[in-house]
Amino acid sequence: MNHQELNNRLSEIKNKLISIEQKSDKRIFLLCEAENSYAVNKFLFEDVKARFCIVTGIDSDDCFELLYHYSYDQTGCVITIKAFIRDRKNPAIESITPFLPAAEWIEREIHDILGIDFRNHPNMRRLILSDDWPDGVYPLRKDVSPNEAKELKK
């Protein structure tokens, strides 16, 4: 598919998105709410057949954002799904691991570091924080200081 056909394909799922931003020929952002991210991810992976790359977690001041990056290798276009998680107290989102096993570890890492709960994740265990790290301290959240864990350990 070339760029035009790709754009047409992506507009099929327009009703689940907040908007589509096309920053350039090769860079497309699909913005959506957290509830719809599962369906959009499934569409991109199974119907458009884009290649999953990685997930990025961002702590914006009023919400959490999860960016799912896909690469459409036939045109070299990078498509990113931007899912907004509005609930800061108990952030949760549907895990995409059931149909995309490659996402298992990155979701574990985001859970460790930002504290986002992934529902239906088959194997939610600690990944990169040390074994004796206190529970409930998520280091890369903006309201957590770097020394908070050290204070809690003492």
Partner 1 sequence: MNWKIWSLKKSPWVFHVNAGACNNCDIEIVNLLTPKFDVERFGIKLVGSPRHADALLVTGVGTWQAAKRLKEVYRQTPKPCVVFAIGACACGTGIFNNGYHVVGPVDKIIKEVDPNAIIAYVPGCPPKPEAMISGVVKALSAL
Query: Whole-number minimum distance, CB 18 to partner 1, in Å?
Result: 33
The letter for the amino acid at 154 is K
Query: Whole-number minimum distance, CB 64 to partner 1, in Å?
Result: 18
Query: Whole-number minimum distance, CB 129 to partner 1, in Å?
Result: 8
Cβ nearer to partner 1, comparing 63 with 137: 137
Site for partner 1 in 118-147 (CB under 8 A): 129-133, 139-140, 146-147
Query: Whole-number minimum distance, CB 126 to partner 1, in Å?
Result: 11
Cβ nearer to partner 1, comparing 29 with 133: 133
Query: How is 71-126 classified by DSSP, letter by letter?
Result: EETTTTEEEEEEEEE--SSS-EEE-STTT-GGGHHHHHHHHHHH--EEET-TT---
Cβ nearer to partner 1, comparing 59 with 94: 59
**Which residues of the chain form contacts with partner 1 (CB under 8 A)?**
129-133, 139-140, 146-149
